[in-house]
Chains A and B, each alone.
Chain A
Amino acid sequence: AQKVTQAQTEISVVEKEDVTLDCVYETRDTTYYLFWYKQPPSGELVFLIRRNSFDEQNEISGRYSWNFQKSTSSFNFTITASQVVDSAVYFCALQYNFNKFYFGSGTKLNVKP
Protein backbone atom coordinates (compact mmCIF):
# COMPACT_ATOMS: atom_id res chain seq x y z
CA ALA A 1 0.00 0.00 0.00
CA GLN A 2 1.08 3.56 -0.66
CA LYS A 3 1.23 6.22 1.98
CA VAL A 4 2.50 9.78 2.28
CA THR A 5 2.84 11.41 5.67
CA GLN A 6 3.19 15.12 6.23
CA ALA A 7 3.36 15.30 9.99
CA GLN A 8 3.39 19.09 10.17
CA THR A 9 -0.19 20.26 9.89
CA GLU A 10 0.61 23.95 10.12
CA ILE A 11 3.81 26.00 10.41
CA SER A 12 4.15 29.70 11.12
CA VAL A 13 7.34 31.63 10.47
CA VAL A 14 8.36 35.24 10.21
CA GLU A 15 9.44 36.55 6.84
CA LYS A 16 13.07 35.80 5.92
CA GLU A 17 13.23 32.74 8.12
CA ASP A 18 14.11 29.40 6.55
CA VAL A 19 11.53 26.65 6.83
CA THR A 20 11.57 22.93 6.06
CA LEU A 21 8.46 20.93 5.21
CA ASP A 22 8.75 17.23 5.93
CA CYS A 23 7.46 14.39 3.77
CA VAL A 24 7.80 10.69 4.51
CA TYR A 25 6.47 8.10 2.10
CA GLU A 26 5.83 4.38 2.00
CA THR A 27 5.74 2.16 -1.05
CA ARG A 28 6.87 -1.30 -2.05
CA ASP A 29 7.32 -0.24 -5.65
CA THR A 30 10.86 0.25 -6.92
CA THR A 31 9.74 2.74 -9.55
CA TYR A 32 7.87 5.79 -8.39
CA TYR A 33 7.95 9.56 -8.51
CA LEU A 34 7.67 12.12 -5.76
CA PHE A 35 6.13 15.53 -6.19
CA TRP A 36 5.60 18.75 -4.34
CA TYR A 37 2.65 20.99 -5.14
CA LYS A 38 1.72 24.40 -3.78
CA GLN A 39 -1.92 25.34 -3.22
CA PRO A 40 -2.37 29.07 -2.57
CA PRO A 41 -5.66 30.41 -1.18
CA SER A 42 -7.03 30.63 -4.72
CA GLY A 43 -7.16 26.84 -4.70
CA GLU A 44 -5.18 26.02 -7.82
CA LEU A 45 -2.46 23.39 -7.47
CA VAL A 46 0.92 24.61 -8.66
CA PHE A 47 3.52 22.05 -9.64
CA LEU A 48 6.89 22.62 -7.94
CA ILE A 49 9.07 19.59 -8.51
CA ARG A 50 9.12 15.96 -9.57
CA ARG A 51 11.80 13.47 -8.60
CA ASN A 52 12.05 9.84 -9.67
CA SER A 53 12.99 7.01 -7.36
CA PHE A 54 16.35 6.45 -9.04
CA ASP A 55 17.59 10.01 -8.71
CA GLU A 56 18.60 10.97 -5.19
CA GLN A 57 20.35 14.15 -6.17
CA ASN A 58 19.20 17.13 -4.21
CA GLU A 59 17.81 20.01 -6.20
CA ILE A 60 17.84 23.74 -5.75
CA SER A 61 15.65 26.21 -7.58
CA GLY A 62 16.04 29.76 -6.37
CA ARG A 63 14.90 29.88 -2.76
CA TYR A 64 13.52 26.34 -2.95
CA SER A 65 15.50 23.18 -2.32
CA TRP A 66 14.57 19.53 -2.00
CA ASN A 67 16.32 16.73 -0.13
CA PHE A 68 15.48 13.18 -1.25
CA GLN A 69 16.77 10.34 0.91
CA LYS A 70 15.64 6.83 0.03
CA SER A 71 17.29 5.43 3.15
CA THR A 72 14.77 7.28 5.29
CA SER A 73 11.98 7.43 2.66
CA SER A 74 11.89 11.17 2.94
CA PHE A 75 11.52 14.00 0.45
CA ASN A 76 11.81 17.23 2.38
CA PHE A 77 11.29 20.72 1.02
CA THR A 78 13.13 23.80 2.28
CA ILE A 79 12.25 27.40 1.58
CA THR A 80 15.12 29.78 2.25
CA ALA A 81 14.41 33.36 3.27
CA SER A 82 10.66 32.85 3.25
CA GLN A 83 8.33 35.51 1.91
CA VAL A 84 4.70 36.30 2.57
CA VAL A 85 3.85 35.05 -0.93
CA ASP A 86 5.03 31.61 0.14
CA SER A 87 1.99 31.31 2.39
CA ALA A 88 0.01 28.36 1.08
CA VAL A 89 -0.74 24.72 1.66
CA TYR A 90 2.00 22.45 0.37
CA PHE A 91 1.31 18.89 -0.68
CA CYS A 92 3.78 16.08 -1.11
CA ALA A 93 2.58 13.33 -3.45
CA LEU A 94 3.67 9.88 -4.55
CA GLN A 95 3.09 8.76 -8.12
CA TYR A 96 2.88 5.00 -8.51
CA ASN A 97 1.50 2.42 -10.91
CA PHE A 98 2.28 4.68 -13.90
CA ASN A 99 -0.23 7.43 -13.25
CA LYS A 100 -1.88 7.11 -9.85
CA PHE A 101 -1.20 9.74 -7.24
CA TYR A 102 -1.36 9.49 -3.48
CA PHE A 103 -1.31 12.86 -1.77
CA GLY A 104 -0.17 13.66 1.74
CA SER A 105 -2.47 15.59 4.04
CA GLY A 106 -0.69 18.86 3.35
CA THR A 107 1.19 21.40 5.45
CA LYS A 108 -0.19 24.88 5.79
CA LEU A 109 2.60 27.45 5.82
CA ASN A 110 1.94 30.89 7.26
CA VAL A 111 4.63 33.46 6.60
CA LYS A 112 4.11 36.60 8.64
CA PRO A 113 5.59 39.97 7.70
Chain B
Amino acid sequence: SAVISQKPSRDICQRGTSLTIQCQVDSQVTMMFWYRQQPGQSLTLIATANQGSEATYESGFVIDKFPISRPNLTFSTLTVSNMSPEDSSIYLCSVGSSLWGEQYFGPGTRLTVT
Protein backbone atom coordinates (compact mmCIF):
# COMPACT_ATOMS: atom_id res chain seq x y z
CA SER B 1 0.00 0.00 0.00
CA ALA B 2 1.07 3.57 -0.62
CA VAL B 3 2.12 5.95 2.14
CA ILE B 4 0.24 9.21 1.81
CA SER B 5 0.90 12.45 3.65
CA GLN B 6 -1.14 15.62 3.72
CA LYS B 7 -0.21 19.13 4.72
CA PRO B 8 -1.44 20.85 6.75
CA SER B 9 -3.00 18.33 9.09
CA ARG B 10 -5.37 21.00 10.35
CA ASP B 11 -5.96 24.71 10.02
CA ILE B 12 -8.27 27.43 11.19
CA CYS B 13 -8.96 30.03 8.55
CA GLN B 14 -10.98 33.20 8.24
CA ARG B 15 -13.85 33.46 5.82
CA GLY B 16 -12.97 34.88 2.45
CA THR B 17 -9.44 33.49 2.44
CA SER B 18 -8.07 30.47 0.56
CA LEU B 19 -6.17 27.42 1.73
CA THR B 20 -4.06 25.05 -0.34
CA ILE B 21 -3.81 21.45 0.83
CA GLN B 22 -0.96 19.26 -0.34
CA CYS B 23 -1.01 15.51 -0.90
CA GLN B 24 2.25 13.60 -1.30
CA VAL B 25 2.57 9.89 -2.10
CA ASP B 26 5.70 7.82 -1.61
CA SER B 27 5.34 6.10 -4.98
CA GLN B 28 3.99 6.90 -8.41
CA VAL B 29 0.26 6.31 -8.67
CA THR B 30 -2.07 6.42 -11.59
CA MET B 31 -5.02 8.02 -9.90
CA MET B 32 -5.43 10.63 -7.20
CA PHE B 33 -8.71 11.85 -5.79
CA TRP B 34 -9.97 14.48 -3.39
CA TYR B 35 -12.84 13.89 -0.98
CA ARG B 36 -14.69 16.07 1.48
CA GLN B 37 -16.14 14.86 4.76
CA GLN B 38 -18.37 17.41 6.43
CA PRO B 39 -18.79 17.15 10.21
CA GLY B 40 -20.51 13.90 11.16
CA GLN B 41 -21.11 13.07 7.52
CA SER B 42 -19.88 10.58 4.97
CA LEU B 43 -17.25 11.13 2.31
CA THR B 44 -18.10 12.85 -0.94
CA LEU B 45 -15.87 12.78 -4.00
CA ILE B 46 -14.88 16.28 -5.09
CA ALA B 47 -12.77 15.48 -8.13
CA THR B 48 -10.26 13.24 -9.82
CA ALA B 49 -6.84 14.87 -10.12
CA ASN B 50 -5.46 14.17 -13.59
CA GLN B 51 -1.78 14.46 -14.25
CA GLY B 52 -1.02 17.01 -16.93
CA SER B 53 -4.63 18.02 -17.52
CA GLU B 54 -7.57 19.63 -15.80
CA ALA B 55 -9.21 17.80 -12.93
CA THR B 56 -12.54 16.06 -13.43
CA TYR B 57 -15.12 17.46 -11.02
CA GLU B 58 -18.18 15.72 -9.61
CA SER B 59 -21.60 17.26 -9.69
CA GLY B 60 -21.85 20.12 -7.24
CA PHE B 61 -18.15 20.99 -7.26
CA VAL B 62 -16.54 23.56 -9.55
CA ILE B 63 -13.01 24.48 -10.47
CA ASP B 64 -13.31 28.08 -9.36
CA LYS B 65 -14.07 26.98 -5.82
CA PHE B 66 -11.79 23.94 -5.65
CA PRO B 67 -8.89 24.35 -8.08
CA ILE B 68 -6.71 21.25 -8.23
CA SER B 69 -3.23 20.72 -9.55
CA ARG B 70 -1.35 17.52 -10.26
CA PRO B 71 2.09 18.27 -11.66
CA ASN B 72 3.38 14.70 -11.42
CA LEU B 73 2.46 11.15 -10.39
CA THR B 74 3.22 11.61 -6.69
CA PHE B 75 1.83 15.03 -5.80
CA SER B 76 -1.40 16.99 -5.92
CA THR B 77 -2.88 20.10 -4.34
CA LEU B 78 -6.44 21.12 -3.59
CA THR B 79 -7.25 24.77 -2.94
CA VAL B 80 -10.39 25.76 -1.09
CA SER B 81 -11.12 29.26 -2.33
CA ASN B 82 -13.05 32.14 -0.82
CA MET B 83 -13.88 30.04 2.20
CA SER B 84 -17.07 30.20 4.22
CA PRO B 85 -17.99 28.36 7.43
CA GLU B 86 -19.79 25.78 5.28
CA ASP B 87 -16.40 24.69 3.97
CA SER B 88 -15.41 23.45 7.42
CA SER B 89 -14.69 19.78 6.77
CA ILE B 90 -12.05 17.13 6.60
CA TYR B 91 -10.46 17.01 3.18
CA LEU B 92 -8.94 13.69 2.21
CA CYS B 93 -6.65 12.69 -0.59
CA SER B 94 -6.81 9.14 -1.90
CA VAL B 95 -4.76 7.24 -4.43
CA GLY B 96 -5.20 4.19 -6.63
CA SER B 97 -2.70 2.34 -8.74
CA SER B 98 -5.06 0.86 -11.33
CA LEU B 99 -8.60 0.72 -12.56
CA TRP B 100 -10.72 -1.22 -10.07
CA GLY B 101 -7.78 -1.25 -7.74
CA GLU B 102 -7.82 -0.54 -4.05
CA GLN B 103 -7.80 3.06 -2.93
CA TYR B 104 -5.84 4.29 0.02
CA PHE B 105 -6.56 7.43 1.94
CA GLY B 106 -4.35 10.07 3.42
CA PRO B 107 -4.70 11.20 7.05
CA GLY B 108 -6.91 14.13 6.07
CA THR B 109 -6.79 17.87 6.63
CA ARG B 110 -9.20 19.25 9.22
CA LEU B 111 -10.31 22.69 8.13
CA THR B 112 -12.27 25.07 10.31
CA VAL B 113 -13.50 28.33 8.81
CA THR B 114 -14.48 31.10 11.21
Residues of A within 8 A of B (CB): 31, 33, 37, 42-45, 47, 50, 52, 91, 95, 98-101, 103-106
Residues of B within 8 A of A47 (CB): 1, 102, 104-105
- Chain B residues with a Cβ under 8 A of chain A: 1, 31, 33, 41-45, 48, 90, 92, 96, 99-108, 110
- Contact between A43 and B42, CB atoms less than 8 A apart: no
Given contacts A47-B1, A91-B42, A104-B42, whether A99 and B107 have CB atoms under 8 Å apart is no
Report which of A37, A44, A52, A91 forms a contact with B108, defined as CB distance below 8 A.
A44
Question: In angstroms, how far is the closest chain B Cβ from the Cβ of A98?
Answer: 4
Q: Is the CB of A99 within 8 A of B31?
A: yes
Contact B107 A43 (CB under 8 A): yes
Q: Is the CB of A106 within 8 A of B107?
A: no
Q: For the complex, would chain B's binding face be called helix, strand, loop or mixed by DSSP majority? A: strand
Q: A43-B90, A43-B110, A44-B107 are in contact. Are A103 and B100 (CB under 8 A)?
A: no
Question: B108–A106 contact, CB under 8 A?
Answer: no
Question: Of all chain B residues, which has the CB nearest A42?
Answer: B107
Let me know if B90 and A99 touch, CB within 8 A: no
A-B contact pairs, 21 of them (CB 8 A): A31-B100, A33-B100, A37-B105, A44-B105, A45-B43, A47-B104, A47-B105, A50-B102, A52-B100, A91-B42, A98-B99, A99-B33, A99-B48, A99-B96, A99-B99, A99-B100, A99-B101, A99-B103, A103-B42, A103-B43, A106-B42
Contacts of B107 in A (CB 8 A): 42-44
